[in-house]
Amino acid sequence: MALSSRFNKLLERKVPVEERPIEKDEMPVAPTSNNNYHVIKLQLHDALVEAFDLNVLERMSPEVLTQQLSRHIEKILSEQFAHAPLNALERKLLIKEVQDEILGLGPLEPYLKDPTVNDVLVNSFKQLYVERRGLLELTDSRFKDEEHLRKIIDRIVARVGRRIDESNPMVDARLEDGSRVNAIIPPLALDGSALSIRKFSADPLEMRDLIHFGSLPAEGIPDLLKGLLKARLNILISGGTGSGKTTLLNVLSRFIPEQERIITIEDAAELQMKQIHLVRLETRPANIEGTGEITQRDLVKNALRMRPDRIIVGEVRGGEALDMLQAMNTGHDGSLTTIHANTPRDALMRLETMVAMAGVAIDPMSTRRFISSAIDVLIQIARLSDGTRKIVSLQEITGMEQEIITMQEIFKFSQEGVDKGGKIVGHFKMMGIRPMFLEKLESHGVDIDPAIFSRTSFGGSEQ
């Protein structure tokens, strides 16, 4: 095996890196104007490949490999680059970047460690964005070239037992830490390879966090949401990309009683359930021969045979919507799912379309009746222009009127404007409607003061 190939094989091993969260101002990037810096970095990388005894390294534990690498970098810098035209900051950065290149994921590594970053988005080797607090930022980091980016993508997908090449130019997978990754390469990606990483939080948010972030008010609404779960209402969470649907689903799932049996079904496992009586299911893509695929619909059908009390589908996208609705209509009350839609009405229309995708001959009117009898509550969540995420509407499904599914809005976020700093100004308010589901809450021992439904304001959105 060639020296470089054996060295690259080492890179696919999972090596622990420093876990201390890195603050934004601690993450300077390589000076793009200093050509000496980049030349020295390449020479240092090549010198490391030559210096390592790969026969010995292949037998090392990841921890020892990390120590050996640090020692070699310092030694080579002292012996071969002692008089290199680098200042102290550049030297420190050089050591860190080479370590990240060898043990981690190169330019991605600082952002994967940064707890303030939610998404890492690579549009090309020259363009790397991150999302912080709901807003996108163009970083100064970049890859050396397209080949460098492809090597990092190959390293990522190899760690999860997948491959990406011209015959299979797209990969959607879950990393070992739970983060979701999507990679796409030429010829499908016209401007070069692209990579998207949705980071997985090791410390899932709680209801108090949503209150702190201003996603919902501190009064009334949290108790109402908890009551919906305790009373086993079927809930559909709707929202756009990055609006926080899965986060809200995670938070609500905390209030499912411990004694209930829960089956979760996801394309890429993101839910972080606390309950013990839990079975987690995840879809499987087709293999290289195009066989062996297990879809969400397959898993929903199988879940119905597993004696679940509740079924939770991470996000309905296709024909599994029919099976999910059947579960909600046949004794699996308290089930939850999410859907990608920008308004409550759009969510119901999309759900109707997905039922049709199941390939079962059901006329539109029957489909709408089916939906209206299965879903009790629809929660709309949105990412606003200032990057904040809020529950903007809670709708109760009340039945049918002629050919239309009817809803009544129980509460909403009312936007009043934008302040000088670009922050959304508004308040949460009830719509003055006593919900029909209040009787069901009372029958399950949920004590909600009916007076809250007359509240015209629950405070502003300044949090």
- Quickly list DSSP for 340-378: E-SSHHHHHHHHHHHHHTTT----HHHHHHHHHHH--EE
What's the rounded mean pLDDT across residues 434-459? 89
d(CA 227, CA 233): 9
Percent of the chain with pLDDT over 90: 54
| pLDDT tens profile 125-177 | 999 999 998 889 999 888 989 998 998 999 888 887 788 998 889 998 888 77
Q: How confident is the model at residue 278 (pLDDT cuts 50, 70, 90)?
A: very high
Q: Look-up: residue for tokens 């860190």? A: 96
d(CA 355, CA 342): 19
**DSSP-derived 3-state class of residue 298:** helix
What's the rounded mean pLDDT across residues 11-19? 47
**What order of strands is seen across the sheet that includes strand 135-138?**
135-138, 127-132, 117-124, 194-198, 180-184, 170-174
pLDDT at 172: 87
Single out the residue of 270, 227, 243, 265 nearest to residue 380, CA to CA. 243
Higher-pLDDT residue of 237, 47: 237
CB of 293 closer than 8 Å to CB of 315:
no
pLDDT at 441: 95
pLDDT at 20: 42
pLDDT at 38: 67
CA 97 to chain centre: 26
Residue 18 has pLDDT above 50, yes or no: no
d(CA 332, CA 309): 6
Q: Cβ of 64: how many Cβ atoms within 10 Å?
A: 12
Q: Cβ of 142: how many Cβ atoms within 10 Å?
A: 18
Higher-pLDDT residue of 377, 85: 377
Residue 395 — φ and ψ, nearest 5°?
-115, 140
Q: How confident is the model at residue 22 (pLDDT cuts 50, 70, 90)?
A: very low
Number of residues that this document lists for the chain: 463
Q: Is the pTM of this model over 0.95?
A: no
Q: Give the lowest-confidence range in 281-285, 286-290, 429-433.
A: 286-290
| pLDDT tens profile 32-84 | 445 566 677 677 767 766 666 555 555 667 677 777 777 777 777 777 777 77
Single out the residue of 398, 237, 223, 201 nearest to residue 314, CA to CA. 237
Instruction: Classify the phi-psi angles of 220: left when phi > 0, otherwise alpha if psi is within -120 to 50, otherwise beta.
Output: left
d(CA 228, CA 224): 6
The two three-digit tokens of residue 48, written as one number? 């490391």
pLDDT at 345: 97
Q: Quote the mean pLDDT of the chain.
A: 85
Residue 413 has pLDDT above 70, yes or no: yes
pLDDT at 3: 46
d(CA 179, CA 170): 17
**DSSP-derived 3-state class of residue 49:** helix
Q: Are strands 310-313 and 424-430 parallel, antiparallel or unpaired?
A: unpaired
pLDDT at 170: 93
CB of 110 closer than 8 Å to CB of 18:
no
The two three-digit tokens of residue 354, written as one number? 């997905």
- Distance linking the first and last C-alpha atoms of the chain: 58
d(CA 101, CA 148): 10
**DSSP-derived 3-state class of residue 211:** helix
Single out the residue of 116, 114, 98 nearest to residue 30, CA to CA. 98
